[in-house]
Amino acid sequence: MLTLHQAGLLATPALAPLDGSIRPGELLAIVGPNGAGKSTLLSMLSGFRPAEQGELHLDGKPLREWPISELASRRALVAQQEPLGFDWRVDELVCLGCNPEQSLVAELLDDLDLTHLATRSVLSLSGGERQRVMVARGACQLLSRRSPTAKDGGLLLLDEPTSALDIGQQQRLMRQLRAWAVQRHMAVVCVLHDLNLAGTYADRVWLMHQGKRIDHGLPHQVLNPATIADVYAAELQHVEGGTQGKPLLALMP
């Protein structure tokens, strides 16, 4: 579990201190308008940008005290855009630096509908296909390095993982992320722009605005039309028909 104790950043872009926890077995969505601090927060949660005040603890140990090699077995970050650099095959890129069992690679490729692309060059893929490959690589990093004594599947951090996907692939990816959270006992954190994806698939939501977390809780508590309209400066309406009490929002015509 990752816990935050008044953790924040002082330099630009600043991030106001916040407390919280990210637990195995759940999908947490971080939402907010452009420039709200979502990616900055994700970078701090990963340890790539150390907190300048307060403290973060992973498995009860300060995040800053984790050796890089050990930290790689407990958290993985999938950024918005990752330069590929070389003409890797898809299956080679997924297991890069992990040395996983091939059965795990095959399972992850199947999970993300990538099996038919396994031997393709990543340079030949569409943006959405590359995005799913990088998600598979992040999951492979955690699962292949998992210690036999580990109590959970680690922390998977994803920055806008659905941005290049069509609506069907968005649905399949979010369902798979929830499945990994539950079945592999991962803590999955997604920065999302699509509020309906957050409302449908997240267990909890953190709402960011101007470098602050201004609300957090269950999706139907946080993603209410009045709050979202104010934060996003948008005219919204609630749409009936969401399943299991999940909120659905639509733009006013």
What is the predicted pLDDT for the residue at 183?
93
What is the predicted pLDDT for the residue at 41?
95
Instruction: Report the distance separating Cα 236 and Cα 230, nearest Å.
Output: 10
Closest C-alpha among 214, 189, 149 to residue 16 = 214
What is the predicted pLDDT for the residue at 54?
94
Instruction: Report the distance separating Cα 242 and Cα 251, nearest Å.
Output: 16
Q: Which amino acid is at 30?
A: I
What is the predicted pLDDT for the residue at 239?
65
Q: Where are the domains of the chain?
A: 2-82+149-251
Closest C-alpha among 186, 185, 182, 183 to residue 158 = 186
In the chain (253 residues long), the average pLDDT of successive 10-residue segments reads 91 90 96 94 92 93 90 91 80 87 94 96 92 95 81 92 93 96 95 93 96 94 88 76 62 65
User: Percent helix, strand and coil across the chain, each rounded to 5?
Assistant: 35, 25, 40
Residues 2-82+149-251, CATH architecture: 3-Layer(aba) Sandwich (3.40)
What is the predicted pLDDT for the residue at 87?
86
Chain segment 59-108, per-residue pLDDT in tens: 999 999 999 888 988 999 999 877 777 788 999 999 987 888 899 999 99
Chain segment 33-42, per-residue pLDDT in tens: 999 999 999 9
Full DSSP string of 81-110: -----S--BHHHHHTTTT---HHHHHHHHH
How far lies 18's CA from each of 34, 78, 210, 216, 218, in Å?
20, 23, 14, 11, 17
